[in-house]
Structure 1
């Protein structure tokens, strides 16, 4: 396992559990206790968690793992989700892509399905698509958020309000039957909500670690999304609750 992938899995586990010990992390990551302690020290120095005697903690509703640390985490699952998502896109469609590692995988497959128009607020996705002749690219503008590589705020929201999008692939930090779609940052949530309002169809793409999870800022309720595509590791009882709200759930 790559160091960056190990750090991402460690942070996601701490965020989900609230507190963990070295032994638990050692078993989860299949590395020595000494390696876990070095990782915890490094991530503590980066202010991504807080060390405790024998482990680490995070408070409240979890920590946000920066996007560059999540890129290698659960990549096979994200690619499978992206393949299913790309199949929903007809030729000539206007496609919205919010930021996120799974939406980035969707973007990489869309270049094979052109001609398309892609509207995005994610600078990393824009950089990947800009040279592809089959893609007409619209980038929202706005204030750059380094944790997610997204452009957010009033400028981004105004751009989205001025366009109609056929289908948006929405990345989330959590989706649950009780709280709908959530993310860590309230300004990012507001920009994601603007994608939802401008779209004829909203498809959430989220690996199993996001299912049943609730984070700080609400993007939208389940009544505003049409599809959820996730992987087979998602808990059945959470998926059932989401489906009961009228969302078409696909597992890959």
Structure 2
């Protein structure tokens, strides 16, 4: 099989399944795993995949998009995810909710009659919660990054270190069963990791286009996810991987 034919097959497999394994590709192509790894390396250089241990996954979408641009993507799907996510809430809980347009939708979906303590570094989330009478809102300051819509840096990390949460609604740029939760920005990823360390459970509500994709900075291992909220059209094979790792799947 010619090199370009291998590239085309890899691109098609990523589009269909979200990931490829080097060993399986080597057997199918009748070449060595070194040859496959070289193929994956070249496709990664071209931005067509992201390499992970044992193979590759599709690159996470919206790498260069601002939060206002991302807000225009899949609003109906995010609304469904938000409604399913807030069904998990119980009065008296303490939450971390970090940035992202799906998390902003979750904040807007929180009922007015539930008592919560919510700490967030997201301006959009804070704005959505500001008028809820039973929510004690803790706005985490720091260096505000306009394109992300969040505060990051030392002041944010220091504030997170003083808090604990029953649940962390973690905004994910990419989500894959081998690489876990990933983010595009290193400073934002650091805040996410700090929130994860100080939380009893992690909840991720994610649109289908982010499943089986990866961004550059790792946030949390896949087995750290307690609850995964997805659209009912999410690929069963991808969800099965997360279920095996201990995540409870919730359909929107």
- TM value normalised by structure 2: 0.74
User: Which structure ranks higher in relative contact order (CA pairs < 8 Å, sequence separation ≥ 6)?
Assistant: 2
Determine the structure 2 residue equivalent to 1:199.
Answer: 199
Could you say if the C-alpha distance between residues 183 and 75 of structure 1 is closer, same or farther in structure 2, counting changes exceeding 3 Å? Answer: same
SS in 2 for 1:219: strand
Determine the structure 2 residue equivalent to 1:129.
Answer: 129
The Cα shift of 1:142 comes to: 1.3
Superposed, 1:37-186 pairs within 5 Å as: 61=59, 63-186=63-186
| In structure 2, C-alpha distance between the alignment counterparts of 1:151 and 1:96, rounded to whole Å | 14
SS in 2 for 1:64: coil
- TM value normalised by structure 1: 0.74
Determine the structure 2 residue equivalent to 1:235.
Answer: 235
Q: CA RMSD in A?
A: 1.8
Conservation of the 8 A alpha-carbon contact between 2:112 and 2:133:
no
- 5+ long unaligned stretches in structure 2: 1-13, 16-45, 50-58
Report how many aligned residue pairs link the two structures. 198
Conservation of the 8 A alpha-carbon contact between 1:91 and 1:116:
yes
- 5+ long unaligned stretches in structure 1: 1-15, 18-56
The Cα shift of 1:250 comes to: 1.8
SS in 2 for 1:159: helix
Determine the structure 2 residue equivalent to 1:9.
Answer: none
Q: Which has the larger radius of gyration?
A: 2
Runs of 4+ in 1 over 3 A off after TM superposition: 57-62
SS in 2 for 1:106: helix
